[in-house]
Amino acid sequence: MIHRNESLTDMIAALAAGTQTPLSLAKQSLARAAQHADLNAFAALDAGIVMAQAKAANQRRARGEALSPIDGIPIAIKDNYLTKDYPTTACSNAKPLEPTGQDATIVANLRAAGAVIFGKTNMHEWAFGATNTTSNIGPTRNPHNIDHITGGSSGGSGAAVAGGIVSAAFGSDTGGSIRIPSSACGIYGFKPSYGRASRHGVLPLSWSLDAPGPMATSLQDIVHLLPYVLGADPADHSTSGAGTFNEAPAPNTIKVLNLSGPGLERATDVDEAINTALLRSKTDVTQASLSNIDQYLASWEAILHCEASSYHQALMAQEPAGFSSVTRAHLEAGEQIGATELLVAQKIRAQLMPALMNDMPDWNVLVLPTLPVTAPKHGDGWQEFGGRRVTTQDSMTWFCWLGNLAGLPCLTIPVGKSHAGLPIGMMLMGKPSGDEELLAAAKVIDQNIKKAG
Amino acid sequence: MIHRNESLTDMIAALAAGTQTPLSLAKQSLARAAQHADLNAFAALDAGIVMAQAKAANQRRARGEALSPIDGIPIAIKDNYLTKDYPTTACSNAKPLEPTGQDATIVANLRAAGAVIFGKTNMHEWAFGATNTTSNIGPTRNPHNIDHITGGSSGGSGAAVAGGIVSAAFGSDTGGSIRIPSSACGIYGFKPSYGRASRHGVLPLSWSLDAPGPMATSLQDIVHLLPYVLGADPADHSTSGAGTFNEAPAPNTIKVLNLSGPGLERATDVDEAINTALLRSKTDVTQASLSNIDQYLASWEAILHCEASSYHQALMAQEPAGFSSVTRAHLEAGEQIGATELLVAQKIRAQLMPALMNDMPDWNVLVLPTLPVTAPKHGDGWQEFGGRRVTTQDSMTWFCWLGNLAGLPCLTIPVGKSHAGLPIGMMLMGKPSGDEELLAAAKVIDQNIKKAG
């Protein structure tokens, strides 16, 4: 199922060398999308819209007037980003948001760089779930084994990249929704620090937790994309202090805290893959645990539910059929939470950053598995690992929510496969607004793992 | 009733000149406190504690080792500031917080400068009200006419300064609690920008609205005190970006917006006093109105109720008799507010700053009356002004809450008296963190008004 696809970095080189053109890349992506229709990766894909963009890029490149290194490269966009050429559905049954000429800020940035906006990807309905099995167009399927899920909520973006349809795609992440499908599909996914990337034009799930970001087949691909992602946007006040992307040099030493303990259990094969990867990473690894995981998890859940219920309250009253019964139940639960309960959750949240920054040994990178298990089978409602039995939904966000509650930059990198051939991802978390330092450390770790592997 | 008291500035000069000593000042304040016992300004005042501090200051000054210009000057503190020598009651019936050796940060700063901490002042119970008529030790009385209230919740501080007992006192302000009694008692009161002054050790009413600050008989007095008030305190994370006090030069031009319109009504004598003061101020005055006052007011009320209920929830369950029935009703109401309702209030709050900064003509100072009426009589439950009939409580916070919801620095300055001899105050609001610029503009305005008066 997996193409030996060119990475975004390869495509940049091929376009520069003239061995590929925007037209050849667009045709290749369209052909592969058709070939991999069984992945169900796309909510909307219009060959005419794609080819019109590719032709324009072709003409620019032919004139020697490329707008950027990524001019003419197809990039897929999750269906909760507003795009001026496609409706936006968030894969719900609600009346679609028809295109109004408005792109999400990140889409506008990519388009201004000449990227070919290649369709809207399948997602977990309203991003309120992490399996990608609840979608108005049906579940996505994992390119490594279509009997398995991709995870979500950016599952279509994960399948489109891992299936070789596009070299890069965008997702959004409230409790792991970029990292989960990236890990389950064996690719790289990056959730920026909260406040570094504009959320403008990305439908919110929970505005104080949401972050948009790229998914691709290498860390260098992510580096190529971040100039279009990081930086202040007057339309998103949370980015008012955001710096633009400024690549950091490789660090001399990398202090890794390998987190484990109650609440951070994982399956044996996952644990072994992480430990092997850390051995190979040649970093300075310290074992550490984090107290009160349960209270932080409850804080994340309360904030997510309250903010999601607030955002959807009007539409829930107006068009209840626009939500599946499970999403509706979540939103109704959120409406029942009291304000004083939310304030307690917000206070607990405020304790997490000091706990991570001050109460731990010195660190550059926090490490966890991205998922406690490999991609579950379609239809499996429960997962068992490390003495725990939790719903498949809860297993997907098991580790990832921590990065959202703290607002940290987070990466997932592939570090191997299970005996069944399913990918295993390692999560690396950096310091707040230290997105560049995290990427620089991750490059060293990734290279060392690959050299030793 | 009103002494021609020396101001703090006078006392600094008298101490420097040797015409007063810390001992003579302490004795004078104690004598006046006894003489004005009818004001009911103090919740706790211990002559032994006062004299011990004064003696130590006397010795320092005799040795030529004064800690600061205010070394030896008596300063009164509202009874919701923790002090290491007095219990803290917030004038409630709850079990007092016995002194644990901890001073609020501002008290610690004053003490380190040698100030004589002169007792704890009467306040509206738990600061949850603005009349100062609900207090476990009974209401405060206005030095201008003891049949009238002081307003609150820092009413004891207002009475102690206006009655000439001390030259300066400290209060806290969540919806006007510094400015209201300052205005009603004819003195100067300053609420710093949210995040410029440490709230550490001041019992919260509503942590996202509260600000501590000084009350005195001149603007120069406030300038003398602000070095001990403004600046970052690791114990209050909201001050992490706070600069220390750095006096600003007198501005060349002062653009005043004189706010009026629906929701900003006031009594005729108050309106006339403000208009006269503005004419005399020789500033560039523009009339302006603010839309959607009702929605902002509802936002302030919801946030205040939710945060107050959250803070008091444990004690309310444990010791309900620690709250008067009216305060208990407020706190119970806050517990019933839903999280999504609070989130709506927080979103509306986020719109206020852009509305004030971007949707208005250019300004340096926003002006409103501090109160729509002069100090009400004890026992009067309702106030009528400008076609409105509201509770006395609501009349007290009528204008002031706006500065808390926006987090602006706010001053009240006395600008005259009614025919009945009751003081009228004018409120000046500055830009966020522009505390020094507000004070510099206020000095010019205050001097021009006095020259013309």
**Three-class SS of A11-49:** HHHHHHHCCCCHHHHHHHHHHHHHHCHHHCCEEECCHHH
Burial degree of B145 (CB within 10 A; 0-12, 13-18, 19+): middle
**Average per-residue pLDDT in chain B?**
96
Residue of A29, A20, A84, A83 whose CA lies nearest to A51: A29
Using a CB–CB cutoff of 8 Å, tell me whether A310 touches chain B. Answer: yes
Confidence band, pLDDT 50/70/90 cuts, at residue B419: very high
Instruction: Examine residue B418 and say whether the peptide bond preceding it is cis (omega within 30 degrees of 0).
Output: no
SS3 A350: helix
Q: Encoding tokens for residue B20? A: 């007063």
Residues in Cβ contact with A158 at an 8 Å cutoff, skipping those fewer than 6 apart: A140, A150, A151, A169, A171, A181, A182, A184, A185, A187, A189, A215
pLDDT > 70: what percent of chain B?
99
Min Cα distance B306 → chain A (Å) is 6
Instruction: Note the pLDDT of residue B4.
Output: 56
Cβ contacts (< 8 Å) between A310 and chain B: which residues?
339-340, 343-344
Give pLDDT, residue A453: 78
Average pLDDT for A70-77: 98
Q: Is the pLDDT of residue A3 over 60?
A: no
Is CATH 3.50.50.60 correct for A1-453?
A: no
Average pLDDT, stretch B92-120? 96
Contact A151, A130 (CB under 8 A): yes
A334 — contact with chain B (CB < 8 Å)? Answer: yes
pLDDT over 70 (residue A384): yes
Average of pLDDT values for A404-415?
A: 98
Hey, what are B12's tokens? 């600094």
Residue A227: per-residue pLDDT: 98
**Stretch B298-325: mean pLDDT:** 96
Give per-residue pLDDT as tens, B50-101: 999 999 999 999 999 999 999 999 999 999 999 999 999 999 999 999 998 9
Distance of alpha carbon B29 from alpha carbon B40, whole angstroms: 15
B237: nearest CA partner in chain A:
A350
What are the boundaries of each domain within chain A?
1-453
Asked whether the CA dihedral B273, B279, B282, B285 is positive or negative, the reply is positive
Residues 6 or more apart whose CB falls under 8 angstroms from that of A260 comprise A287, A288, A289
Q: At residue B252, what are phi and psi to the nearest 5 degrees?
A: -70, -45
Question: Alpha helix locations (H) across A337-396?
Answer: 339-358, 392-396
What's the whole-number mean pLDDT along residues B182-198? 98
What average pLDDT score do residues B421-436 get? 97
Out of B237, B306, B344, the one facing A340 most closely (by C-beta) is B306
Of all residues in chain A, the percent with pLDDT exceeding 90 is: 96
- Predicted-complex ipTM score: 0.81
CB atoms within 10 A of CB B112: 12
Question: Could you give the percent of chain B with pLDDT greater than 90?
Answer: 96
Helices and strands in chain B: count of H runs, count of E runs: 14, 13
Q: What is the pLDDT of residue B453?
A: 77
Distance from CA of B308 to the nearest CA of A (A): 9
Q: Which candidate, B376, B370, B3, B373, places its Cα nearest to that of B162?
A: B3
Write out pLDDT tens, residues B35-44. 999 999 999 9
- Write out the CATH class of domain B8-234: alpha beta
Q: What is the Cα–Cα distance from B195 to B408, expressed in whole angstroms? A: 10
Mean pLDDT of B386-399: 97
Q: Do residues B278 and B382 lie in contact, with contact meaning Cβ atoms separated by under 8 Å? A: no
Mean pLDDT for the stretch of residues A260-287: 97
Determine, for residues B339 and A344 on separate chains, whether the beta-carbon distance falls below 8 Å: no
Residue A4 has pLDDT above 80, yes or no: no
Say if CB B141 and CB B38 are below 8 A apart.
Answer: yes
Question: Which pLDDT score is estimated for B1?
Answer: 45
pLDDT, one tens digit per residue, over B122-136 is 999 999 999 999 999
Structure tokens at B47: 């002559």
Give the mean pLDDT of chain A: 96
Order across the sheet with B410-417: list the strands: B42-44, B116-121, B74-78, B168-173, B211-216, B188-191, B410-417, B423-429, B365-369, B255-259, B284-288
Evaluated on CA atoms B314, B320, B324, B329, the torsion sign reads positive
The residue-averaged pLDDT of A393-403 equals 98
Q: Which has the closest alpha carbon to A434: A411, A405, A401? A: A411
Chain centre to alpha carbon of residue A245: 18
Instruction: Name the residue with tokens 């819209």.
Output: A49
> What's the rounded Cα separation, in Å, for the pair B259 and A296?
45
A161 band by pLDDT with thresholds 50, 70 and 90: very high
Q: Please name the amino acid found at residue B307.
A: E
Say whether pLDDT at A405 is over 80.
yes
Establish how many alpha carbons lie within 13 A of residue A435's alpha carbon, considering only the half-sphere containing its beta carbon: 29
Size of interface A-B (CB pairs under 8 A): 53
SS (H, E, C) B353-394: HHHHHHCCCCCCEEEEECCCCCCCECCCCEEEECCEEEEHHH
Q: How far is CA A342 from CA A437, B75, B308, B337, B430, in A?
A: 33, 39, 13, 11, 32
pLDDT per residue over B394-418, tens digit each? Answer: 999 999 999 999 999 999 999 999 9
Question: Which residue intervals of B319-364 are DSSP H helices?
Answer: 325-335, 339-358
The tens digit of pLDDT for each residue in B244-274 reads 999 999 999 999 999 999 999 999 999 999 9
- Residue B291 is encoded by which pair of tokens? 């839309």
- Minimal CA separation from B310 to chain A, in Å: 5
Q: B338–A335: do the CB atoms touch at under 8 Å?
A: yes
Give the chain B residue nearest A339 (alpha carbons): B339
Given pLDDT bands bounded at 50, 70 and 90, which one contains residue A1? Answer: very low
